[in-house]
Amino acid sequence: MPKRLIGVRLDKSNISKKQLILYCPIEKKHKFAKEIIKTIFNMKKIYLFIALLMGIVSVFAQNEYSITATALYGYGTVTGAGIYHEGDTCTITAIANEGYEFSFFNDNNVLVIEENPYIFVVHEDHNIRTGFKPFEYRINVTTTPDYYGYVTGAGTYDYGETCSLMAHFYEGYDFEKWTENGVEVSTNPVLRFTVTSERSLKAHFFKRNYTITASVYPEEGGVVEGGGQFTFGESCVLKTFPRSGYDFIGWKRNNNDIVSTDAIFVFDVSQSANYVACYEPRTFTVFVNANPSNGGFVTGSGTYQTNQECSVTATAAEGFRFIGWTEDNDTISYDNSYTFTVLGNSNLVANFIPNTGVEEQKINRMAIFPNPVHDMLTIEADESITLLEIYSLTGTLVFRLENCGNKVSLSLSDLPSGTYFVKVTSNMISEARKFVK
């Protein structure tokens, strides 16, 4: 135990007494005597040494103690350590680093005080360890709108810790940004930062926008309405209307399976998609007949799909000639071969009339008027008309007149409305004309 010589004193009252008064343990007396001798010789007063040996001088000394103080983990610093003497007052002060605060003093492995500074009277060596703890900060998080998503990672963190916040969005929604006090912080749904203070962050979400398109297959099958831009959960209405000859099958989404067979399709939007209104052509029957049945031969009857082309032909039998195709008593063609697009069931009639034995040519300057006719029909030619015949579209002879001169007016008030053929023969030449009543 170190000690310090603090002085000598002549003790006249004990001049004859041979003793040494020491404030030190017996085992240290020899070492202490050396210090006294050194001091005496420094003072150059040899008589004091003699007096010491004779026991007429008293010597006084104080004990010295070591006070050590350390800061655990380097979270702060400590002042007040050093060498102190018996009875001195020692003050140990803990100074925390930024983000930390004083926690405790441990003196010789004993928790002695939780107040700063630590003040005590020195009677022994002290090994003082000082503890610090980081400040705790609350990381608060809110979402807007509330039900679009949620956030993980909020809570209480120690100073210097890394906080990881993650924004999670529900189906149909998306993350927009982080803000703090109204200021944008980040657009990344994962936000990491070192905690140095309390923070209040807000996660912003929004509804996703989706595009709905609608089309028709095949294109000629029908038309569609609806589609456009929609937000998640918004209602979309698609409509389709068939064209003649097509039947609606259903809606396909992104060319996959049919999702609805309703022509008016209502659904909540949850993704961008292309909806196709699928149609199939109807199947129709084309019947072809000859009138009269012995007037000729016809081809082209059969089964056809919508928009499929059908070709029919008419060949007159001996003694007959072809005058035209009719459907529902309406003339549709004067050509022996007739091609048309099938849009429905058809019943075509190839009409024939008997030959007159005269050459079929155009009569010079023949006129038929008015056409269409309401009551009186006039036929006029440059030459005398020897035979005038009127046929219905079915080939039925409905009127006949011979030797009419070069002009004749006929009352047709008794004829039903419809399409007719007038056949005029003059000078062994005949010509047929169509008129409508």
Q: What are the pLDDT digits (tens) for 43-82?
A: 444 444 444 444 544 444 568 999 999 999 889 999 999 9
| DSSP conformation class of 86 | T
Instruction: Tell me what pLDDT residue 39 has.
Output: 52
DSSP string, 203-217: EEEEEPEEEEEEEEE
Average pLDDT of the segment spanning 387-409: 87
pLDDT at 240: 97
Which helix H or strand E contains 37, and what residues bound it?
A: helix 29-43
Sequence-distant (≥ 6) Cβ neighbours of residue 165 within 8 angstroms: 139, 141, 151, 152, 153, 154, 178, 190, 191, 192, 201, 203
* Helix orientation angle between 46-54 and 29-43, rounded to the nearest 10 degrees: 150
pLDDT at residue 328 in the model: 87
Task: Please say if the pLDDT value at position 13 is more than 60.
Answer: no
Q: Is 166 helix (H, G, I), strand (E, B) or coil?
A: strand
Query: What is the rounded CA–CA span in Å between residue 2 and residue 205?
Result: 73
Distance CA 426, CA 405 (A): 10
Q: Write out the DSSP string of 268-280.
A: E--S-EEEEEEEE
Q: How far apart are CA 197 and CA 183, in angstroms?
A: 17
* Percent of the chain scoring above 90 in pLDDT: 60
Residue carrying the six token digits 């079915």: 394
3-state SS assignment for residue 315:
strand
* pLDDT above 80: residue 7: no
pLDDT tens-place string over residues 145-180: 988 999 999 999 999 999 999 999 999 999 999 999
Position 310 pLDDT exceeds 50: yes
The predicted structure's pLDDT at residue 104: 93
pLDDT grade for 343, boundaries at 50, 70 and 90: confident
User: Which spans in 312-435 are helix H?
Assistant: none
Q: Where are the domains of the chain?
A: 1-133, 137-207, 210-279, 284-354, 359-436
**What are 20's two structure tokens?**
């040494």
Residue (of 54, 40, 86) closest to 67 by Cα position: 86
Q: Does pLDDT of 200 surpass 50?
A: yes
Q: Output 276 or 360, whichever has higher pLDDT.
A: 276
pLDDT band (50, 70, 90) for residue 383: confident
pTM over 0.85: no
Name the more confident of 192 and 423. Answer: 192
User: Is pLDDT above 50 for 10?
Assistant: no
Nearest one of 280, 233, 282, 229 to 252, comparing CA atoms: 280
The CATH fold of domain 137-207 = Immunoglobulin-like (2.60.40)
Using the structure block, give the residue that is written with the tokens 């002085």. Answer: 7
Same fold, 137-207 and 359-436: yes
The total of other beta-carbon atoms located within 10 Å of residue 159's CB is: 19
pLDDT for 158 equals 95
Distance of CA 140 to the CA centre of its chain: 28
Has residue 414 got a pLDDT over 70? yes
Give the residue-averaged pLDDT of 74-103: 95
Contact yes or no for 219/183 (Cβ under 8 A)? no
Phi, psi for 176 (deg, rounded to 5): -110, -55
Q: What is the mean pLDDT of residues 77-90?
A: 95
Q: Are 233 and 172 in contact (CB under 8 A)?
A: yes
Lowest model confidence (mean pLDDT) among 283-297, 349-363, 367-381: 349-363
- Topology (CATH) of 359-436: Immunoglobulin-like (2.60.40)
Before 218, cis peptide (omega within 30)?
Answer: yes
User: What is the overall mean pLDDT for the chain?
Assistant: 85
Confidence at 420, pLDDT banded by 50, 70, 90: confident
